[in-house]
Each structure stands twice: as structure tokens, then as C-alpha cells.
Structure 1
Amino acid sequence: MDQGTTAFVLICAALALLMTPALAFFYGGLVRASSAISLMMLSFGALALVAVLWIVFGYAVVNSSGNASGFVGIDGVFGIDTGLIGLGALLQGADDSAPLAQAAFQCMFAIVAVALVSGAIADRARFGAWMVFAGLWASLVYFPVASWVFTVRWGADGMAGGGWIVYGLRDLVGAGVLDFAGGTAVHINAGAAALALALVLGKRTGVGSGPLKPHSIPFVLLGAALLWFGWFGFNAGSEGAADGFAALVVMNTLAAPAAALLSWLVVETIRDGKATAVGAASGVVSGLVAITPACAYLTPLWAVLLGLLAGALCALAVNLKYVLGFDDSLDVVGIHLVGGLIGTLYLGFFANGDGFIYSGRVDQLLAQAIGAVAVLVYSFAVTLALGYLVDKLMGFRVTTAIEQAGLDIAPYGQAAVGPDATR
């Protein structure tokens, strides 16, 4: 990895870090003004905690040497490959490469994946309980699942990547999962966890008695815009080099969200009689989620089609919570779980060279389905157990009085707007 490539990866890492504060704005604008600070703090808390865990052991777990064939994907001492901890190994890999740059870049994925889950428990979660859960979830769910997809190994030929659902499935079905930037490890993973945690905490007080409206639509739009900006680094940086594939990734990361915005607004107009700014922002995010696994494997026209499908289907999917009776506060399930599934399965049909329309084979679609289901089931089951554990040990949910008054004043002594706001 020469200096130019190292600089590219480091810039992409900085862009990807921006996604977590952007998510805080996006989520913070969607809730009541009296709970905005509390919700935004869940993202900032995840940023700090996961960064520390990543440095201490997360990188070593995700990139342990046995991941290419192992299902769990961790080895060494207590799941840590001790050879990955030394500073010398991180500073210089094969061919003068810079594993530390990749380590920093991968850390941003871990941070935002954990922060995404918080949207499902808005307006009712205690900060301390969330931090305990976030540490456990990162350690027992995100790090192992990321090892299935993102394992980086440094050898004589430089960097190679991929865990068991990338390489291990090839012996089983003849193809491995295509997931360029985290449709499985980040979005399906976080979306399944969000569903489990929403079930653990139950519904917000007042849900069903009337709409809980966003307090700041400009925050929502700002958050979506900054997410889109940061997502260029999130996706393009996964190439690890400023080359033609990175250029394709950038084009597709523009195309799919733009198309998804339009199709979401069309669905809103047909269904509700009008399009909304929140719908536009949500459409952008749904397109970004769907293109994440697919951004290097599609031509731009297929990316536009993917965006159109994702925007329309996610706009419909956000209503599943009303049909099925769970309270996913900010539609993490409808956007991230459903959008991640759409983008992952779409590759089984339209991936360049490997999808069904190019090869006439179903092995790629089968691999995509197995990988998606494996991540979904593992994440949901382990999150459900962790959520109940934290709830039983320390109580995950605030009291009814605090929930009704808003989660900002009592815990923080601050408010987002109004006379109680502090400088």
C-alpha cells in the first residue's frame, strides 16, 4: 500500500466516521424535542465505546487468521489472534502495506453498526443500559459477524479478504457471498438486532394513540445529507485503492440513493396523497443501504433499478411494525434490515458475471440467501438474549414518568430547544 493508497483509505475512514454523528442528527430530528439529546447521545456513546473496544480486541477478533474456513471465525487466546496486536504488524504488512489504515477504516463500520441499532429503542432506553448492551453486542455479535465477511489477511501477495460466508460457502454451494461494504455485516445485522431489541423493550408510551411527529425535519434532512456524503467513503474505501472500481462504487453510491428517493416519494404520493421531506430523507437512506453490498458488482443502470426497488419496497416495509405489532421507533427494521436483504439478494440476479441473468446459474443467489439468513438469525437470537440479560440485571427502560416528560431533562439536565436549553 503506497502513500497515495494509504491516504485514500485514511480519508475514506474519516468520511465513514462522519456517518455516526450524521446518524445522530437523522435520528435526533425524528424524535420528540424532549428526547433528542438522549437519542443523539446513544450514537455518540457507541462511537466512544466501540472505538476503544476495537483497539483493545475488536480488530484482532474480526481479522483472526482462521476466519476463512471457521464458522465462528475467532481463534487465539479468548478469541484474540495475538499476532495481530503488535504495533509492528499493524504498521507494515506485506509489500510495505499499511494494515493500520485498514484497521482504522474497519473500525468505522463497527461504530456505525452499533449506533444504527439505537433507532429502534428511541424515547425509552436508559443510557447506562444502552452502553452495557452496546459493548456486549459489539463483542458477541458485530465482531464475530464482521469476521464472516471482512476478514483481512496479509500475505506475500498483499491484502486478501473474506470470512466463511465469502470463502466457506464456495465448497457448499459453488459460490461465496458477495458483500462489498457491509449489507450483511452492518445492515442486516443491525436491522435484525433492532427488531430483537424493540421486542425486549416493548412499545413506547402513547404509541397507537396518535402520531409521534418528528421535532426537527431540518435535522433529518441534514443527517441524511451527511450520511450520503460519508457513505461515499464507507463504500469506496472498501476497495482499498483509488482505482476504477472505486470510481464505479462512487457512481453507484450516487445512483441508487437518488433513484430510491424518487421511488419512495412516488409510493408516499400514491399511498398518502402527498410526498414528505422525511420520506425523501428515508428514501436516500434506503438506497444507500441497498447499494452497500452491491456497489462494486453492478453497472450504474442496474444500480438505478436497485434504488427504485429499494425505495419503493422500504417505503412499504416501514408499515410492517403496525401490522406485526412491534415498535421500531425510527424504522431501522423497515429500512436497514429490509434494505440490506434487498441489496444482498439482488446480487444473486444482477451481479456482473455471477448473477443469474449473466450466468444462468442460481448458485450465487443461493449463497446470498444463505449468508443473509445466517447473519439475520444469529444477530436476532443473540441480541434477544443480550437484551433480556441487560434488562433483568439493570433495567433497560426508563420509568414511565421520565418517558412521558422526555428523556433529556432528568438524565442530562439539558434540552434541545426551549427555555431549558443550556449553552
Structure 2
Amino acid sequence: MGDDLLSYEQAAELVACRARDLAQRRPATERVDLADAAGRILAAAVAADDDQPPFARSTRDGYACRVAEASAHLTLPVAGLTHAGEAPPAALPAGKAWEIMTGAPVPAGADCVVMLEYVERVGDTIRLVSSRRIEARENIVAKGAQSRRGDVLLKPGTKMGAAQIALAASCGYARLEVYVRPRVAILTTGDELVPVDATPGPGKIRNSNAPMLAALVAHAGGDPVILPTAADTAEALDDALELATQADILLISGGVSAGKFDLVEPALARLDSKIFFTGIRIQPGKPLVFGEIASSGLKPYINRPRSEGHFGPAPIPVFGLPGNPISSAATFHLFAAPILAALAGSNEIYPRFVLAELSQATDRKGRPGLTRFLPARCEFNASVNELPKVALVPWHGSGDLTAFAQSNCFVVIPEDKGSLEAGSMVRILLH
């Protein structure tokens, strides 16, 4: 059963170790407008330029007053009104209340904001009508409660999402220093492949893996570059590999099994390369190859200098992905994406698995000793007390693009399990 092959866990840890090493080799940086920073990896820290909030701020519409006066059920005259965006009064006069809107600065001397619902207003006076106790600092966010001037709020390596962009904007950052996206060369192999816009002849298929991998790379934060398709000859593959010198990562699709025309591993061996593993105990994706090749002596194809290590041009991580699209996508998510994340400068490199409940039993008996990553569809629901439900998508092998397009995740079935019953808790990897 291939006892000499690494398990999924062993291969994943090896890749993670290599990713952590590569993460020390920070890429070049560039400045981008804040509006263009979504999905980018931060290269320079974002620090608070002022206390946040910069003033004591009301979190409710109501009346700012003193706890002692509000709690005594006194009738308090309303001395004024402050909207959000207006300057507060110098101080709250003793024995008075101040009408205040959500987000407005709280006048000095006030130590609570009583919500509108808890008071009765007649003319220019209010009276507390609720029996509940009013607490000090109620409905007030103190000046500097969220952060202080100079605090580092976002560290280098942070992926910029909507929340991070909003935080940077609140600190006055119109532009951000981010890492340059890693260039990922995509090489598909096979005599059977024709361009997407061609009509396949007998025995031919359109090249779907190249655009699929390009989409995966772009979504993962890389800059995809599709190389010309290589024919199933050693010479063609050697020539194609020499085009990858300016890439930060090389993905090769196809040519990694044990057939007569599976030529990737021998081609890598002819280069200055190091192979970390060939084949792992997973399904689909068993023939995966992971290694590195030296960039010296290769011909330039991507017209941008790549980063260099401490001792010259850095080696290029290379993945030999299986040619079937589901296998290729699964192994990209599981193994190539962590390396891409590390080279992108991200602090988050591991695949994110989540728990789900299997809604129906699996009817496929797996080969023993293989961890399986099966295409499935996860249905999320409105309940906060239930796990999402997931069911396998009917598929006809790892070349079934229709099934893959209908799926949104992979269900993980451990190598010591066969079929699983409905209701089983499983890990899933969303894609």
C-alpha cells in the first residue's frame, strides 16, 4: 500500500516547515492606495496616530449626566444638545443633563449616558422613569479605550480585509506598504491538451487546468503566469522548465504518475533540484511531487527580477501536481497554498479546516491507508447552535469537472476510516 510514502500529516508538516523557512525571506514591497489594498499582505506596521476614540464617545442616543444625580430620580434641566461631529461643551453644568446623539463627544463632568428609553422628557427637563440602576461609564467609551497613540494595530504579515482596511483608514493611512505578490509560473503538460478556444480533435481535451490554477493562485494572493503547454517529451519539458527562472513558485500540472509519459520527476532530476517527497498517502492527489530547483542557468520568461536569498538567487519551490483537475486543485489547497502564503509574507500559512456534520452516509469505500479529500457541498444555515451540514457530491473520478464545480469544499476522511455514517462530525476544507 506504499508504506514508504508519507502520510498526509507528515507531508503537511514537511511543507509547513519549509514554509516557515521561506517566510524568513521577505519579498520586495510596494505602496498601494488603501482602496486597492484588499487581499494584500501588509509589509509595514499600521500604528495609531491618535487615541481611539480621540474623545469620550456616547454609544447611545440619550442624555449625558452624572450618575449620582440620575440615580436620585431628580428632574434635570437639559442644558444643550450635541450631535455626532460637533464639539462638546466645555463642561456639563452641575445639576443638569445634556442631550447627546450616538457617536457624539461626551461633555466633561458627565459619567454616564442614560438611554432615551429610560427617561421622560417634558419641555426642557427630564426625569428617570426606569427602576434599573445606572452604572458609572454606562454607554460611554472612554478616550483611548480602543488604542493609544503609537500603538501598533496591524503587524507586518497581516492580510488586509475589510476590517483591517477600515482600521487603517481610521488612523489616516491613505496608502499602505504591502508585499509584492509572488509570481507563480503555471506549466501544464500533455499531448492531449488544446487551447481553450480550440475545438478538440479525437483524443484531445481543452486545457482547463491552466486557467483553474491561475484562478487559485490569484485568489491565494499570487501573480499567476501561464507558461506555454509542454508536450509529452523529455526535450519539450526540459525547455519548458527553463522558462521558469523569474518565478517565485513553479506549478507543473500533469506528468507525475508512473506512466510512460509521466516525465516531470526525471526532468527535475536533470536540473539542480532537491526533491522533498514523491507521492503521498492521499486520494485524490497521491502522485504529488514537492521539491525545489535552483534558478541559476535558466532562461528568463517572466520579465521581472525575483527576490534573492542571502547567498544569491533563491531556489524555486516546485510542485508536480496531478493532471486530473480535482487532484490538482486539492493538492494546491493542501500544499502549494501554504508555500505561496509564506512567500507572500503572510503570517497565516496553514489550511483552514472547519467542522461540519455529514448529512448522509458516504457510499464510497476508500482504499485503505489513504486520507481522502472528497468533493462535497456544505450548506450553511441560520442556526448558531448547529454545525453546517455537508454531503458528498456524486462524482466520476478526479477528472469530473462538473462535480467539482458543484462542490464548495473537500470532506476529509482519515486513512483509518472507510465509510462514514450520517451525523458523523467531519473536517472540511472550503475551496
Question: How does the TM-score come out when normalised to structure 1?
Answer: 0.24
- Select the structure that is richer in helix: 1
Question: How does the TM-score come out when normalised to structure 2?
Answer: 0.24
- Select the structure that is richer in strand: 2
Q: 1 or 2 for the larger relative contact order (CA 8 Å, sep ≥6)?
A: 1
CA radius of gyration, larger in: 2
